[in-house]
Chain A
């Protein structure tokens, strides 16, 4: 990958949310913080889909929001087309957001119930003053509704008149209204039924083919991410554990966390499901307020050794383009390890 077609580069992004940060706690020195995102780096090329997976609370949504600067990152850099998002002023930020849009998880909460869907979809155009003429705008929105599979005649209806899947289509139409270069999709299909989920995934793929938009696709469902992504990163407790192109990540997961995550997803095929070896992790993920020392995963890791609790493993290249943050990672370390499960 050459530098020229890198659209977004995230470097050492950190985000901490303070808890117990009042006056007294500060005086006593007991102020603590939630380490939501901890030193995350990756890049996204133009027209690429980058998947971000992990369990709830792993910091994947926070990462997405920091990139858009919906929340301020604590440290680190977010370079969009070479410009640092974190140091932009208001005007620059507005211009940047013209090319970076967001699709939210909950199609019920992310549409204003008092606006018609025509108003919702055309709002970005109004804000950025792209189409000053109203007729032109309406014509454009009708076209857009047709593209996302909604009836253009419904332009004057309100969100409550639509089903969940249709509302998510409205959210997608709104995100595409400005023809952005990058869309951050934060769990866009997790609130939808499987048959509707497939419709929305296909729509996202079709739109990408047509407009060449890059996606940062955030989801907890591994099979959905596998289906849509070119490259996939796995996060755990705010840290990036492993990333690579989808094929090598799913075929040869290196990190013990990725392996257990993949083996925990039930496969809708009884023969395969009952014959494969499963790794069931014990316990819950630790609290991000007080993350474990060393490797964040060592408390639940089946192959953890003494070194893991002392030294934080850095991401290292296992095979070409396949990075993994584990001291003992090799393709399928569990099989080769002498540690009994």
Chain B
């Protein structure tokens, strides 16, 4: 933090190296992050895999404690170790492992190539520094900009995220900004070094819906302009329906289903995804349908069930589910699900919730019969 701008070293900026043949921009392979605590080993992330390319948006959905934030904090190298420990798997950024990097190397990537927006805009800005200084920090550190240049760029960034009167606002302190404005500052800060990957951890959860709509629109606009990839972590299925290209649904530290947006919303094959779908109040105009909640509570990550982690709450669970950990079933398109019965088409058809597409199809068929 001190001596900003002096630390510029002869680093190779990984962003300029092309993605090696056969690799993606970001690859997470069977990542396992456990916390060793007094109560036992907390399996916070237990075998997460996905790939991400430039211009893509990955939505990560799950309830609190499902490991969605820990996954991205691990990628950023922000988990204190101990108590955290990577127990397996790897994270490759442009073909290079982030987990093997030294702290020094990581520092040149963090905030530069991979940037993060945190959930709470109220606590993630430093109250004793001006907005301009906080925005400049990354640029001075990573780009070796002078104080003056960095401040000029900060003004530009604030304008870009739609803050009026930016020349004046850079000199102000965080408490002079509203929640939505602060989240815009966080976005500006994350985009300051033009990152390859932007990780947004529940960026709109603390905000009102009208402000949420503004922020999502802004993130999409900037993505189109800069071509960066976005990892959007949220518990709101509406937000991922809006923004994501690919979706990973997490439960108890594991990805239970992964697929394109259409696959997750119109052809989900995991009972947990179905349960989530049925739990959301439908924006019905004609009549209200009762909600079908998922029974019970998520399991403790210290003491996971023997078989499928979702089995105790799953309405379709069988003896096999309780005994045997399901293997990942992958379709031709790369859509995968961690359930014994996902491959069983009849089972999926009989139990998956009705979507707007199946409904439309049913109505067409009904008309055809008449």
Contacts and interface: CB of A to CB of B under 8 A. Distances in A.
B262 interface: yes
Given A198-B293, A226-B283, A268-B241, A220 B217 contact: no
Given A223-B283, A268-B265, A270-B265, 7 more contacts: A198-B293, A250-B285, A266-B236, A272-B356, A273-B238, A280-B217, A284-B180
Interface stretch (A101-109, A135-143, A188-196, A328-336): A188-196
B63 A194 contact: yes
Contacts of B210: 55, 260-261, 264, 280-281
A260 B239 CA distance: 17
B222 interface: no
Nearest to B178: A284
Interface in B225-284: 235-242, 261-262, 265-266, 275-284
Contact of B63 (A195, A226, A274, A282): A195
B294 interface: yes
A197 B213 contact: no
A327 B67 CA distance: 50
A165 B297 contact: yes
Interface string A198-237: 1101100100000000000000101110110000000000
B54 to A, nearest CB: 22
27 contacts: A55-B208, A56-B208, A163-B297, A194-B63, A194-B235, A195-B276, A196-B297, A198-B279, A198-B281, A199-B294, A202-B291, A226-B283, A227-B282, A261-B210, A264-B209, A264-B213, A265-B283, A267-B238, A268-B236, A268-B241, A268-B265, A269-B241, A270-B242, A270-B262, A271-B356, A280-B214, A284-B211
B184 to A, nearest CB: 10
B283 A250 contact: yes
A195 B275 contact: yes
Contacts of A223: 280-283
Nearest to B294: A195
B285 A197 contact: no
Nearest to A222: B209
B279 A194 contact: yes
Nearest to B279: A198
A195 B293 contact: yes
A220 to B, nearest CB: 7
A197 B238 contact: no
Interface residues of B, number: 49
A269 B279 contact: no
Interface string A247-268: 1001100000000110111111
A269 B265 contact: yes
A56 to B, nearest CB: 6
B20 interface: no
Contacts of A41: none
A272 B359 CA distance: 13
Interface of A: 55-56, 163, 165-166, 193-199, 201-202, 205, 220, 222-224, 226-227, 247, 250-251, 260-261, 263-274, 278, 280-282, 284
B292 interface: yes
Contacts of A224: 281
A194 B277 CA distance: 9
A280 B213 contact: yes
A273 B285 contact: no
A261 B214 CA distance: 12
B221 to A, nearest CB: 11
Contacts of A226: 281, 283-284
A193 B63 contact: yes
A261 B278 CA distance: 23
B59 to A, nearest CB: 11
Contacts of A261: 209-210
B181 interface: yes
A16 to B, nearest CB: 21
Q: Select the residue from B209, B237, B297 with max chain A CB neighbours within 10 A.
A: B209
A165 B298 CA distance: 11
A222 B210 CA distance: 12
A166 B297 CA distance: 9
Contact of A266 (B239, B284, B291, B295): B239
Nearest to A280: B213
